Amino acid sequence: MPDISLTSLVLLCLAALLAGWIDAVVGGGGLLLLPAMLLGVPHVPAAQCLGTNKAVAIVGTAGAAVTYVRRAPVAVLTAVRIGLAALAGSMGGAFFAAGVSSDVLRPAILVVLVGVAVFVLLRPSFGTGPAARGPVGRARLVTAIVLVGGGVGFYDGLFGPGTGTFLVLALTAVLHLDLVTASATAKVVNVCTNGGALAMFAYQGNVMWRLAALMAVFNLAGGMLGARMALRKGAGFVRGVLLAVVFSLVAKLAFDQWA
């Protein structure tokens, strides 16, 4: 474990707990956890913070996914197919990331997020109705694999912030899921993408395993708590958290762009 004060360690564990809760409900926990790590252990390379963040996040995401699968009607095979496409997309995005400036991407993502917030606000019924029943049609499944898996996965590798939130929104729109089922499906997809990223970071030696193990316990607790709250309180609760996360992401990106 890196040289770190007890105060910083406690704050990192609390950040992991809250990030796990946010991630389980609607995605976007990395918006809290990664900056917390960069501030909490500033003397280590950023790559090690990124790798450790993935090692922590995959535990909470997996715990949330198991909780959802047990209680929500999640099509696991469909989610895994989308997850594998997202894994391939993220690798493609990472390949192109070196040649793309975040100063170009950030304003575009800001516009998209503001549009998403306006859409959700003006459509109170979005994702709050019952999920579509029966098997997913072939056309919708292919669309989900290509656009949701490949498209969002590519964005994750290229830029990253808010990937979980985009997954929930895209799954709701493309597969006609309610927000709770979309969040549950997104967790299975996230396990696939996080697993691929973690394998690469581990191969490169960029994971602080002892710190990750401690933080993962708190992230797991937050993830399971968030999943149970989302299942108990329903789509209206998830919609409220979704809007809060979207506005937080807009604020963060705007700060990064102009501050």
Q: Which of 54-63, 79-88, 129-138, 150-159 has the lowest average pLDDT?
A: 129-138
**Residue keyed to tokens 């002892």:** 210
The answer as to whether 135 is a domain residue is yes
The answer as to whether 61 is a domain residue is yes
CA dihedral 82, 87, 92, 94 (to 10 degrees): 130
Residue 221 confidence (pLDDT): 96
pTM of the model: 0.79
CB 33 within 8 A of CB 19: yes
Residue 238 confidence (pLDDT): 82
The answer as to whether 166 is a domain residue is yes
Determine if residue 145 is left, alpha or beta; phi over 0 gives left, psi from -120 to 50 gives alpha, anything else beta. alpha
Q: Give the chain's mean pLDDT.
A: 83
The answer as to whether 1 is a domain residue is no
The answer as to whether 178 is a domain residue is yes
pLDDT digits (tens, 9 = 90+) for 90-123: 888 877 755 666 566 677 777 777 877 787 787 7
The total number of residues written for the chain in this structure? 259
Instruction: Give the pLDDT mean for 147-176.
Output: 83
Residue 196: Cβ within 10 Å count: 20
Range of the domain at 151: 6-258
**Residue keyed to tokens 């003006």:** 122
Angle at 153 between CA 84 and CA 122, to 5 degrees: 120
Angle at 101 between CA 96 and CA 103, to 5 degrees: 145
Structural domain count of the chain: 1
